[in-house]
Amino acid sequence: MDGNGRWARAKNLPRSEGHNQGTKTARAIVEESRRLNIRHLTLYAFSRENWTRPKEEVSFLFDLLTRFLKGELKSLIKQDIRLNILGDISDLPLTARKVIEHACSKTKSNRSMTLNLALNYSGRWEIVRACRLILEQGLSANEITEEKFSDYLCTAGQPDPDLIIRTSGELRISNYLLYQSAYSEFYFTRTLWPDFTPQELHLALEDYASRQRRLGGTDPK
């Protein structure tokens, strides 16, 4: 969800306004994804590197997230969406953590869509954490396969992402789902996240649908 700050700067507004607008986009994209029957949607909301931002911005982001989840819980339940967190929320402010845990627990039986929020998440951290868990559980070297390894990632039990969308014109993966994105398709757009619309989500999906996914194999005959 990149470009909130630049969106605000272009309008001479404080960065917080960009993040406010970003949550409106998030709500619209979640609703449209659910309507389109997308089974898994992940929003990269806060990386482990984002802690280096000014303290006021970090605390604003967690307040905003808390308000967002409080405000959306009813709607998530109504849409049969399960909220799931990728990342380590134990470092988050207590109020945010409580609201997150409450929302996850209230939606845990929902089945139509899983909404993953990547929070205090980074791909390298996740891979190292998986290695630690595997060692702690005493698995032997020959038990560790690619599939088994996936069971120790935050996305255990979920399919790898088919499509990764990055907004704001940056052409980087920025430590996002590094293991899972091995064969993902990418859609890069210059649109800043607050301006990203359901219509552009449709464009991204049409673009995706036109691609040939060979997954390392040859062209299908």
Binding site for ligand FPP (CB under 6 A): 1-6, 19, 22-23, 26, 43, 45, 50, 61, 64-65, 68, 117, 168
Which residue matches tokens 């990764």?
164
Residue least distant from ligand FPP (Cβ): 5
Cβ neighbours of residue 220 under 8 Å, at least 6 residues apart?
212, 214
Least distance (Å) between residue 196 CB and ligand FPP: 12
If DSSP codes are grouped into helix, strand and coil, which group holds residue 105?
helix
Least distance (Å) between residue 214 CB and ligand FPP: 32
Q: For residues 177 and 8, is the Cβ–Cβ distance under 8 A?
A: no
Q: For residues 114 and 80, is the Cβ–Cβ distance under 8 A?
A: no
For the chain, first and last CA: distance in Å?
38
Q: Which is nearer to ligand FPP, 30 or 205 (CB)?
A: 30
Least distance (Å) between residue 135 CB and ligand FPP: 32
Q: Which is nearer to ligand FPP, 65 or 153 (CB)?
A: 65
Calculate the alpha carbon distances from 11 to 17, 22, 158, 189 in Å. Answer: 10, 14, 39, 20
Q: Which is nearer to ligand FPP, 130 or 166 (CB)?
A: 166
Q: Which is nearer to ligand FPP, 66 or 134 (CB)?
A: 66
Q: Which is nearer to ligand FPP, 22 or 205 (CB)?
A: 22
Cβ neighbours of residue 65 under 8 Å, at least 6 residues apart?
45, 46, 96, 100, 119
Catalytic residue check, 63: no
Least distance (Å) between residue 30 CB and ligand FPP: 9
Q: For residues 96 and 62, is the Cβ–Cβ distance under 8 A?
A: yes
Catalytic residue among 2, 4, 20, 84: 2
Least distance (Å) between residue 31 CB and ligand FPP: 13
Residue 182: count of CB within 10 angstroms of its CB: 11
Catalytic residue check, 50: yes
Return the active site residues: 2, 50
